[in-house]
Amino acid sequence: MNNNDSTIYSTLVELKEKLDENLETTIIDQWGDICEVTCSFNEPVCIERLDSFEKNYGWVLP
pLDDT per residue over 5-40, tens digit each?
A: 688 889 889 988 999 999 999 999 999 999 999 999
Distance of CA 27 to the CA centre of its chain: 16
**Mean pLDDT, residues 35-60 taken together:** 92
Whether the predicted pLDDT of 52 surpasses 90 = yes
Whether the predicted pLDDT of 1 surpasses 60 = no
Can you give the pLDDT at residue 2? 61
How far, CA to CA in Å, does 16 sit from each of 23, 32, 43, 60? 8, 22, 15, 25
Can you give the pLDDT at residue 8? 83
At 2 the three-state DSSP class reads coil
d(CA 29, CA 27) in angstroms, rounded, equals: 6
pTM score, whole prediction: 0.52
